[in-house]
Amino acid sequence: MRQALHIFRKDVRFLWPPILVVLAMTAIFAWSRSVDPSRFIRGNTGVGATNLLDTVSSFLVLAWWYLIACLIYKEQPAGDRQFWVTRPYSWKSLLAAKTLLIVTFINASFLISDIAILSANGLSPSKAAANLLGRQLAITAIFLLPAAALAATTRHLAYIAFALSVVLLLNLFFNPGGSEGLYHLWGRLAWIPEWTTAAILAAGSFAVLAWQYASRRTPISWTILAGVSAICAAILMAKPVGPAIALQSHFPSASADVPEVRLSFAPGAHPKGGIMIGPSKFVQFPPGMHGWVPIRINGFSPGVQVKADLVKVTIHGPQGTSWSSGWIHSSPSTQSRGPIEWAQAWIGDENRFLYVTIGKQPLESFQSQPVSVSVSVAMTVFRTETATQLMSGEPDRSIAGVGNCSVRGMNAPGSPWLLCRSAESSPVRVDVQGIPLIEASYAPKWGIFAQSPVSRLYESLADRRSLFNEGPIYITTGRPVAHVRRDLEIPQIRLWEAPSR
């Protein structure tokens, strides 16, 4: 331990510039997440704030990696010209010294930053202890250990930059949605690939570090790193085993018996080239669409709302021919997911209608033939939980599942804004004046793998200002209480005709 401290003191003495950069970036990171987000807003959107926070986070991670690279390169395990390998260093002491510096100036400073962010947002750090610990484990597993392992097997920053560029490019190529893509595939079970990847990365990186410092056999370390990377890539690209897991994953364990919710074919429904997905937002169907199957979701009891999450369409033609879409996500955002060659599901009219659009390819297979269509829909059922009244300028009010909320900036561009801050994430649906503001997200961005220990909902209410003017704003929350699957058989229709009949 004495030797480790001796090396640690030496490293601090000679690495003060990158250490200062890390501390400064951490301070900026903490400030950016503590200050009122309205400071960053440009125009009517929160894009300015999001970009700034993302940029600060990216620079913080780069500052970490730079410090780690400088630290490891002071006594490089890779190569055969290093000063330390012919001196009586204990590799365990050397590794301990490097670990100590990382823990002191990265982990500890990040923990202090998280605590400061929580405190500045009026939240209790002690109540978020598990989340704080999880975030420490996450950054260590995902950012720190792999960077240290990479530095321990290379001799120049250029190699690290190259390796990281390759990882980023592969990530863009294979996983364009990033962590959101992971949530899209795995829903609330995203923690399985996330934590599995993190654990394998951490274990593999630690093994490489120990092996490199103990034996300095770099080719074997490269092999281990390549293997770990391949396993992690395979896990991140893997899809859930089947729709059953996908379905289960999107919902909490809560359940309720809601037999009244059912589907029916609504041949008379006319989406008129698009659908309404908000009080004033109309989304046009993309060109090239050839047909759709309009479905009505019925049977809501008071205080119950439904969101269709996954849809599967199977078309049975004559002579036993059939085509199935497989389980597809239903979301307005799917409109940007490429040419319509398959089927897509569109939710509209306050979730009362579901329009399953069928692309050119399957349509042509069954052109002008009477077919039967099977539609399966997996849905989340919400029950309205609380209704809270907010007035602009009033202090924060606690809303269960959403956090401490207030209305900000009545006179600012894009105003007013609803700002809610919470130390935990939960899939809560939020309605303002009875109109959905946010869907109950099955892809929470908050928590351990998020960029901040505080989840901040910051949504413009400008498009519904006329609904409350200067009066009170009613916030209604809904908690998911069940996930159900409903099937609908539509016999003997012609797909060409379905849209207009």
Partner 1 sequence: MSSPIHTHSLSKAFRRHDAVRSLDLEVPAGSVYGLIGSNGAGKTTTIKLLMNILRPSSGTAEVLGVDSRRLGPRHLARIGYVSENQELPDEMTVDYLLRYLKPFYPTWDDSLANEMVRQFDLPRDRRLHHLSRGMRMKAALASSLAYRPELIVLDEPFTGLDALVRHEFIQGLLERADGTTILISSHDLSEIESFASHIGYLEDGRLRFHEEMSTLVERFRQVEVIFAAAPALPQDWPAAWTQPQTGSSVLRFVDRQFDHSTTPAEIRRLFPAAQNIACEPMPLKDIFVSLAMSSRHSNAA
- Does position 81 interact with partner 1 (CB under 8 A)? The reply is yes
Distance CA 77, CA 80 (A): 9
- Does position 162 interact with partner 1 (CB under 8 A)? The reply is no
3-state secondary structure labels for all residues of 351-365: CCEEEEEECHHHHHH
CB nearer to partner 1: pick between 10 and 485: 10
CB nearer to partner 1: pick between 9 and 281: 9
Amino acid of residue 366: F
* β-sheet bridge partners, residue 380: 307, 483
Shortest Cβ 405–partner 1 spacing (Å): 52
Contact 48, 413 (CB under 8 A): no
Enter the DSSP assignment of 45.
Answer: B
- CB atoms under 10 Å from CB of 284, counted, come to 11
Residues listed for the chain:
501
Shortest Cβ 52–partner 1 spacing (Å): 35
Residue from 17, 47, 51, 83 touching partner 1 (CB under 8 A): that is: 83
Shortest Cβ 229–partner 1 spacing (Å): 25
Amino acid of residue 294: P
CB nearer to partner 1: pick between 10 and 281: 10
Residue from 43, 88, 219, 320 touching partner 1 (CB under 8 A): that is: 88
Burial class of residue 243, CB neighbours in 10 A (0-12, 13-18, 19+): middle
Instruction: Spell out the alpha helix ranges (H) of 35-152.
Output: 47-74, 91-102, 108-120, 129-139, 145-152
CB nearer to partner 1: pick between 15 and 289: 15
- Does position 10 interact with partner 1 (CB under 8 A)? The reply is yes
- Does position 156 interact with partner 1 (CB under 8 A)? The reply is no
Amino acid of residue 9: R
Residue from 21, 85, 289, 391 touching partner 1 (CB under 8 A): that is: 85
CB nearer to partner 1: pick between 74 and 188: 74
- Does position 86 interact with partner 1 (CB under 8 A)? The reply is yes
Shortest Cβ 216–partner 1 spacing (Å): 8
CB nearer to partner 1: pick between 6 and 281: 6
End-to-end CA distance of the chain: 80
Amino acid of residue 423: A
Shortest Cβ 69–partner 1 spacing (Å): 15
Backbone angles phi, psi at 464, to 5 degrees: -125, 20
Residue from 122, 217, 245, 361 touching partner 1 (CB under 8 A): that is: 217
> Of 454, 32, 501, which Cα lies nearest the Cα of 293?
501
Q: C-alpha angle with apex 427: 137 to 129, nearest 5 degrees?
A: 30
Shortest Cβ 8–partner 1 spacing (Å): 12
- 12-41 residues in contact with partner 1 (CB under 8 A) are 14
- Does position 80 interact with partner 1 (CB under 8 A)? The reply is yes
- Does position 87 interact with partner 1 (CB under 8 A)? The reply is yes
Shortest Cβ 357–partner 1 spacing (Å): 59
3-state secondary structure labels for all residues of 193-214: HHHHHHHHHHHHHHHHHHHHHH
Cα 3 to Cα 6, 10, 250, 296, 472, distances in angstroms: 5, 11, 51, 72, 65
Listed ranges 76-84, 370-378, 387-395, 476-484: which one lies at the site for partner 1 (CB under 8 A): 76-84
CB nearer to partner 1: pick between 88 and 268: 88
Shortest Cβ 158–partner 1 spacing (Å): 17
Listed ranges 60-68, 88-96, 320-328, 473-481: which one lies at the site for partner 1 (CB under 8 A): 88-96
- Does position 239 interact with partner 1 (CB under 8 A)? The reply is no
- CB atoms under 10 Å from CB of 318, counted, come to 10
Q: What are the E-state strand segments in 413-472? A: 417-422, 429-432, 435-438, 455-460
Report the SS3 class of residue 321: coil
Report the SS3 class of residue 347: strand
Shortest Cβ 169–partner 1 spacing (Å): 30
Residue from 23, 25, 74, 291 touching partner 1 (CB under 8 A): that is: 74
Could you tell me how many residues of this chain bind partner 1 (CB under 8 A)?
A: 17
Shortest Cβ 68–partner 1 spacing (Å): 17
Contact 133, 447 (CB under 8 A): no
List residues binding partner 1 (CB under 8 A): 2-3, 6, 10, 14, 74, 80-83, 85-90, 217
